[in-house]
Structure formats: structure tokens, C-alpha cells
A and B are shown apart, each in its own frame.
Chain A
Amino acid sequence: MKVLVFNPERCDGCGICEETCSKTWFKEPDRHKSAIRISELTDQPGHYAANNCNQCGECMDVCPTLALQRDKRGIVRISKRLCVGCLSCVGFCPIVAMRAHAEHTVPFKCVACGTCVKECPRDALSIEDLPDAALTATEIRMKVAA
């Protein structure tokens, strides 16, 4: 499955990835609308951490409407048509990478589109093909049903 991977050794905290993400998906530069968040480590000034979806799929099992599904590339995606804005996935993401914004009723997350990878001036980001996550309870049910 495709996952956006962050290399902390290379990041200088410029924030271009956040701006790129927000512009790509919301047509405006606003880090609160970015699926990737960069933060400076409090105990190590000048060093940064990134927070973005690792496609683990746990959110799929808390979505009451099956609005969260894995696509062929292994990316967990939200169906805007099915989402009822309950925000369960936002509260239950193990790494807090599912986001809500006050101006939008549908949550958003990294879908490993790779746009930020291209724009990062220090090559701190990459899309990598990692081993598939274990099947979620929802996926197992769907398989059995099919």
C-alpha cells in the first residue's frame, strides 16, 4: 500500500508541504486545512516531526456508514456522499491524523497523492510502497459477504 513517508533528518520546517496540501485540496493556503502537519519538537529545537495518515485503516471500523474504504492502491478514502459528518474517525484515529475543519462537514486525511513530495525543497517526503496493513473487521466482513 502507498504511504507518505517523512524523513526527519531532512526537514527544516519550511511548511511548504502544508501549504501545498491545503492548496491542492482546498484551493487556499491554510495549514489547518493540510492533511500533513509539521511541528517542531519541543525538546529538540530545529528538529521536526510530521503527522499524517499511515493508512492503517482503523478508522474504517468506526465509520457507521461505510464511508471509509480502501482503494486499489491501499489508500483509505472518504466518500463525501456517504459521510454524515459524525467525526467518529477524527476522535478514533490512533495517531490523530484524521482531521476536521470548522468550515467543512466532511473530515479529511492524507491520501498519499504525492503533491507535497514534489514540492518539498529538501526531499524530506516520499511515497513508498509498504506492506499492506492487516485486514480490518469491516474488510473481513465485506469479503465474507461477497
Chain B
Amino acid sequence: MMKAVDKIRKAHRILAEYRYEPPQVDRGYANQTLYVNVSDKAIAARPVDEKMKRTFVGGRGFGLWLLWNAVSGTTRWNDPQNEVILSSGPIGGTTAYPGSGKSIAVSISPLTGTVIDSNVGGHFGPLLKFAGWDAIEVQGRADKEVIVFVDGNEGLVLIIEAPDEAIDSYLLPEQVLDLFADTPEEKAGISSVSTGPGAEHALIGCLNVSFYDKRRGFARLKQAGRGGIGTALRDKKVKALVVKYTGVDADSNHPADWAELTRVGSKMHREIYEQDPIMNDMRGGGTTMLVSIMNEFDLLPVHNFRYGSDPRAEGLYKDQFTPDFSLDIPNGCWYGCTLACSMCVERFQPRTGPYRGKWVHVDGPEYETIAGIGSNCGIFDAHAVLEGNFYCDMYGIDTISFGTALGFAMECYEEGILNKEQTGGLELHFGNADAMLESLHQMARGEGFGTVIGQGVRRMKQLFVEEYGADPKFLQDIGMECKGLEYSEYVTKESIAQQGGYGLANKGPQHDEAWLIFMDAVRNQIPTFEDKAEALHYFPMFRTWFSLNGLCKLPWNDVEPADNKEAYEPRMAARVPEHVENYIRLFSAVTGRQDIKKPEDLIGMSEAVYNFQRLFNLKMGVGTREHDAIPYRSMGPVTREEYESRARRYDEQLAQIGFEPDGKGTEAKMAALRAHREQAYEALVDAVYRRRGWTRDGIPTLETVRRLDIDYPDVVALLEEHRTIE
């Protein structure tokens, strides 16, 4: 009898073939990118020159530059012209330093209509580079389902018609291993990028990037969740991007100075060995430890971000998950990551859906997933969260956008804006785990109200106003999106700086640009608007730097040197200076560049790319102040219940700003608080724009653009155009 994989292979038809001589990676760069057009089946190598490396560095920078040149200001996410790009960065693929295997996906987002970037672990970016490519850009739309296959040992790129592979990301990555590994050992040299059936019907589709887990014997998945890049990939009828490169060793990235890498890498591993168990214990449970901390500090989203804590949240604490993790073997998503946060539940039994009653494995859960589909939807059941996590990955759905969108729909249901008839029978009460799971299954099947939730908060707001007569003001207040992207899972009501961290983020409200809540609201280290603006300059730039280089943020400040807090004053300690020094050493050791010596040099590298992304937003029509506006739910209490649940806190604040709360009704106090907080947000935006060298409307000035050496003719023309409009 023919094996299933042989049957799948038999249906393959090679639509395009491209041969190349794999270059030796030199100091972190392959010095070329791969262009694949699945419409006309064109495949080409594009050179990477010194100017591109100097200005854009790699990773997100390369993605932005390639996409900028591929699309116009009117390109929509589902135009064939749009691309899905993945790139690691010069440090990506380094094995000796923890957290050095990230890829950054870039595309025009179906949710925001502008450029999105989303970082992801797994082996794709590093293997792609070792196969000879600093980035892959996929353009066009295939007429039949295809796989793009890059073989870095053979020097071969294929576009393969692939009718029989699964679409879902539970089966497909395994099929890919069986199809392209000639021996069991070769599986470790294969990584795929795929999504799932949910991404066909929802705008919140994610990418799953695989890595083969030698001990567990199956493909593990990490997600580029944000902004619907999975939806863009499904639109192209690309089932998977697959890279194969066997023979990874310490020199695959060919660093300039291995000796220095040895020193800084061994030092960091030792620090994690000694410090992690007494700090965050990432090795002992990944990011699940955040749930209790956020709950304790009133920062854990509960019921669509109404509240920041709930006693029932204990049902989602780390200890609810750790018994199911295997913690005694490596859990890194790239070689050498000893912070090892990629948890896996190896035996899990879903109670609904196509895998009901079967034993499966689940990658995760991470904090954002637990908070998103758990507490934010009032679901305090660890099993339900794991099941949601499993189906989100398998269906290719971003757990963050799903959790925030479902929380919004649930609040609308509770408020009577939606009824059971409109939801097709789904009882969207907070806490209804069955409804959560059923809405996911509907999304995958392309039917029912699940597909409405899958359109995201912005489109739901519009639909509920137009179809169901909802109050647009109220929906604007409670709909947790900015620029069209759903909020990630932190309550920001008490931190103005983090309101800006979300509202001013280029891609939309995702915490990878800035996380300032403790510094701002808990420790009061940045009291003035100027202090906050400085933090909203430094941290977004510093964090951007990780995404240019193929690095993970976690080993920067989720573990710290033992003396960090004694050696530096609190504001400086938050930057973890010794680790910043590590990164300078790491960058020089890999690239051989000797001009990067100080922390400010890293900031300078990011600033060019960061401003370029802001200009990209401008090109797509969303790069101005009005698009940095945030829903009031992220600033303060929208409803009476919210105010009254924390009345003492709010009353005290009102007294401090000269509004005597005694004897006043809740409505009056809410109005006064709102006026104050909205004004504060605008003052913050002004201060940040000034610090970043932008106009009052949030546009980088010509002077800024020249200083950063990104004054390309089309950039200058874009600025001219907006000056005329102003």
C-alpha cells in the first residue's frame, strides 16, 4: 500500500525551478535576498549592498525596505502586489548567545491596511540565511495551492503545486518533514512557515514557524501572530514556505570574531543558570509566571479590559500549567537559547472540534494567550485555554487578536448590543468557554458568527453600528484596537506612558515596542511628560534593534545580572546596561563592525528604521496623529461599574487635580477624570513627537529624515506632499 506521504508527493507538480550557487554566509549576511512570485512563477536573487546593510541592518529593516519598493500607497493586503517577507538579521542564527534565532515577518496587514511586522521563533530565518538568503519575499497570488521550497544544500528553489497537503498547521509541518527529509536526521534541518483554515475566513490569521524537536520527535511551532500575516499568506494560496539546510554548526553564521562570541555567550549562559531560578524562572514555565504578577498589580485584562484583576485568575496561574510541561529537557526555539521559554504540553485531549478525544500536543501557552482567551473573556479554566491555544495554532489564528476581539464581542453581548439571534445561537457571555471554542471552529469552517469575530474589533464596531444600531461612541470607547490592530494583553489605565507605548507603536498596540507600566505607574520613575517621552524614545528604539538583528527580547531583561539593581540607579537599571554592552559586543563580534561602541549607536541604528516605518505608515495613509488615538477603555473607566470598582483610586486622583469628589455623582466624577486623562494623553503625544523629531501631526521632519540618512527621493516627495496638504 502506498504510504500517505508518497501519495501526497505523487500529486506534486513542479511549476518553477531556480538553481543557485549557495554563497558562504559572511559576518552574518548571505548578501542576497530571494524573490519569489507565485503568480507568474518568477524566482530571482536580489543583491544586498552595503547601503542596505548600513541603513536597514536586516530583519524588520530588510522587510520594510523590500516591501516599500514592492507596494504603492494604494496597495491593499489582498492585492497580488502585496508581499509576505521573512528575514532574520545579521545576528540571527548565532548559536552561542541565547535568543538569537528570531525571524521577522513583514506584510501589508489586512487589519491595519498598513505595514505590519511580527517576530517569531523557530528555525526558518536562520536556516534560510544559511541556505544563502537574508530574506525571502513572496509576491503574487497562485491560481492553485503551492509550496515554495528552498534547498540550501542543493542550491535549489522550487514552486511546487501541492494539492494534497493539509492546510492546518498541526498536520502540515509534519507532512513537510516527511516530504523533504531524506533521512530522519535531516528533519532537524527543515523549517516551514504555514497558517491554517481559519486564516482563510478571518483577518486575524497568524504564521506558524516550525522547528524539529529531536527529543520529542515532532515539529514544534512558534507564531508570528500579529496583524494577519497568515491571512495574507493564505490569500496567496501558499500552503507553506519550506527551507532545508542540513549541517548547521557554530560557524554557519561565519562571525568575524568567534573568540569574543565565546566569551560573551558563555558568560550569558552562566548568568541564566545562576539567575533565572531566583528571578523569573522562565526555564520553569516560560511566560506563564506573568499571570499572577499582572493580576496582583491590577494589569491583567479581565472582561474586555474592564478590570485588571480577578480572584478567579488563580485558575490560570503558572502552577496550573507546569505539571503538564516537560521542564527537564531543552525548550529553546533556536539552538543555544537557554532561557528556554517555549513550553510544550506533550499530551493533551481536546474536548471539542475535529481532535475531540484524541491525544495531541500543544505549543504554549504563553502569557498573552492565557490573558487573551482566558481572563479577558472571563474564562478561568486552564484546560479551555490550552484547547483554545491548540486550535488557534492549528487553524492559523492569532491568539492575541482572537482574545481581544472575542472579549469585545462578549461585552457587546452582555450589554445587549448583540443578541443570540445575531450570533447564530452563540451565547457570548463572559466565561463561556464552549462559545469561545465554537467560534474558533466556525472561523475554520468559514461559517457563523465566528467569522464575524475573525474580522477583528474595528470591523465589528462598524458592523454593529451599521447593522445593529449600536452607539458608535460606546463601541469606540470599549473596542480595544488602535490603527485596526487589537490590543495585546495589558491594562494601561494607570500608566500614561504605556498608553503611549501602545498608541504610538508603529504597527498598532503591541507591547514589543515598549512596556513601561512598572517604571511609570508602579515605581513612579518617569514622573514628567519629558521623562515619559524620553522613555518612549529610548525603549521603542532599543527594542526595535532586536528585530533588526534576529534577536529575542527576553534575554535582555527577563533575566538580569545579579548586581544590576545595586550597580545602577533605578532608571538606568531598567535598561540593564551590562546586557546592552553584551549586545554591542555581540553585534561587533558577528559583523566585524567597529563603529558600534556605545548604547546610543544601537539607538541610532534603530532610529532610521523606526522613522522609515512611520513614513511607510504615512505612505499607506495612516501615519498621522489621528491614527495614534486610542480607545478610552485603555485610558480610564468607561462604565460606572469600572469606576465604582476602583472608586477610591479614582476619587483620590480627582482630589489631586483639584476636583473635589465628595458629594459628586459617579457620572460627574467619570467626566472629570476622562477630561483629565484625555488631556494628559494629548500632552504625552506632543512630548513624544517633539523628542522623536516629528511635527505636531506626527510626521518626521525633513531634518530628521536627513539626519537619519533615509532621505530617499520618494521619501522626500512623500514629505513634500504632506507639507502641501498641511
Task: Name A residues whose Cβ lies closer than 8 Å to a Cβ of B.
Answer: 61-66, 83-88, 90-92, 96, 100-103, 105-106, 136-138, 141, 145
Contact = CB atoms under 8 A, between A and B. Distances in A.
Nearest to B216: A141
Top 7 nearest A-B pairs by Cβ distance?
A91-B269, A85-B250, A86-B336, A102-B259, A105-B250, A137-B328, A86-B95
Contacts of A141: 215, 329
Contact of B251 (A85, A86, A88): A85
16 contacts: A64-B332, A84-B248, A86-B95, A86-B265, A86-B336, A87-B269, A88-B330, A88-B336, A90-B266, A91-B265, A91-B266, A91-B273, A105-B258, A137-B328, A138-B329, A141-B329
B217 A145 contact: yes
A62 B335 CA distance: 10
B706 to A, nearest CB: 42
Contact of B265 (A62, A87, A136): A87
Contacts of B268: 91
Contacts of B335: 64-65, 84, 86
B422 interface: no
Contacts of B217: 145
A141 B328 CA distance: 11
B328 to A, nearest CB: 4
A101 B265 CA distance: 12
Given A62-B330, A138-B329, 8 more contacts: A61-B328, A64-B335, A65-B188, A87-B96, A87-B262, A90-B266, A91-B272, A101-B262
B414 interface: no
| Residue of A63, A88, A102, A103 most packed against chain B (CB within 10 A) | A88
Nearest to A89: B269
A139 to B, nearest CB: 11
Interface residues of B, number: 32
Contacts of A86: 95-96, 250, 265, 335-336
B487 to A, nearest CB: 34
A66 B268 CA distance: 21
A60 to B, nearest CB: 10
B51 to A, nearest CB: 32
B78 interface: no
A64 B250 contact: no
A63 B273 contact: no
A105 B259 CA distance: 9
Contacts of A61: 328-330
Contacts of B338: 62, 88, 91-92
B619 to A, nearest CB: 41
Contacts of B252: 84
B262 A66 contact: no
A83 B250 contact: yes
A19 to B, nearest CB: 22
Given A91-B338, A105-B249, A105-B258, A85 B95 contact: yes
Given A84-B336, A141-B329, A65 B214 contact: yes
Contacts of B266: 87, 90-91, 100
Given A64-B335, A88-B338, A91-B272, A102 B329 contact: no
B270 interface: yes
B96 A85 contact: yes
A135 to B, nearest CB: 11
A92 B98 CA distance: 13
